[in-house]
Amino acid sequence: MTPAHLPHTVGPRDWAALILLTVLWGSAFAFIKHGVETLPPGAMIFVRLGLAATILTAWAHARGHRLPPLTDRRWLWMAGLGLFGNALPFFLVSWAQQYIDSALAGILVATMPLATVGLAHVFVPGERMTLRAVLGLLVGFSGVILLLGPSALAGLGGADTLAQLAVIGAAVCYAVNAIQARLLPETRPSVSAAGMLIMATLFALPIGIWDLMRVEAVAPTAWAAAAWLAIGPTALASVVLMQVARTAGPNFLAIANYLTPIAALLTGLVIGEMIGWPAVVALAVILAGVWLARSGTSSTSPP
C-alpha cells in the first residue's frame, strides 16, 4: 500500500494550505477586474495560464522532477484537469459576467461544494455523504448569499438564463476537477500542476491568440495583473490544490469555495472598501456552515 492510499485525518497543515488557497483565489478578483479593462478575457486567460505553466514547469525541472513522457496515460488525466479546472470554467465565468452581475455569479459558483459532495459520494471511496455535512454546506451557501447580497437573486432566471447556466456549469467543472485531482494516479503535486496548466494553456490557445491579435492598447498595470494572476492564484494555487485534493480529499477542498468570498471581502477592506454588519453576520454563517460540514464527515478520507 502506497502512502497515497493510507488513511488521512485532516490536520492543521491541511487547514493552513486551504487558507492559503482561499487567500490566493479570493485576492484574484480585484486583479481580474482591473486587468480585463484593457486586456480581453480570452487573452487574459491565455497569458495567465501560459505564464503559470512556464513557471511551474521550470520549477519542477529545477527540483529534479520531470514531466511524464507523452505516452504516459497521466497526460489524459492532466488534460481533464486542465479543461475542467482551468480553461473551461475560466471561459464560462468570464463570458457570463458580460451579462450578469458579479454578485450573482459568485452565488452560482458557490454551488460547487454541493456538486462535489454528490460526485464524491459516488466516485471517491471514504467520501460519504451525511445529512449533517449536506446541512453544513447548505448553511454555508446561505451565508454566501447573505454576503454577496440576497437582492442578487432577483436576477435569477429571466433573459440572462444562459449566462447563469454557464456559471453553474463552471461550478460543476470545479467539482469534477476536485474529484479528478483526488483520483489522479500517483504524481508529484508540482508535476501534476505543471501538466494540468500546460494542457489548460493548449485549450485556451485559440481564443487567446484571437484576442491578442485584436487588442489595441493594454495598460502596463493590466500586464502586471496578469503576471500576478499567473504566479499566485494560478501557479502556486495549483500546486496547493493538487496537494490538498490528494491528501484531505475533494469535500474538504470544496470548502475553499465558501471561504474564498471571505478572502475577497478582506481584500476589498485592504484597498479601502467598507464592511458592514450584514457582511460580518454572513461571515459567521459561512463559518458555522463549514464547521457543520466538517463535523458531519462520516469517516477520515483515504487519500
Beta bridge partner(s), residue 301: 8
Backbone dihedral angles phi then psi of residue 209, each to the nearest 5 degrees: -65, -40
pLDDT for res 203: 95
Cell 504516459, residue? 72
> Grid coordinates representing 197?
496548466
Residue 90 identity:
F
d(CA 146, CA 149): 5
For the chain, the residue count is 303
d(CA 94, CA 72): 33
> Grid coordinates representing 77?
488525466
d(CA 176, CA 115): 8
Beta bridge partner(s), residue 8: 301
The b-or-e profile of 28-66 (16+ CB within 10 A means b, else e) is: bbbbbebbbebbbbbbbbbbbbbbbbbbbbebbeeeeee
pLDDT for res 300: 33
Instruction: Give the residues of the chain that fall short of pLDDT 50.
Output: 1-6, 298-303
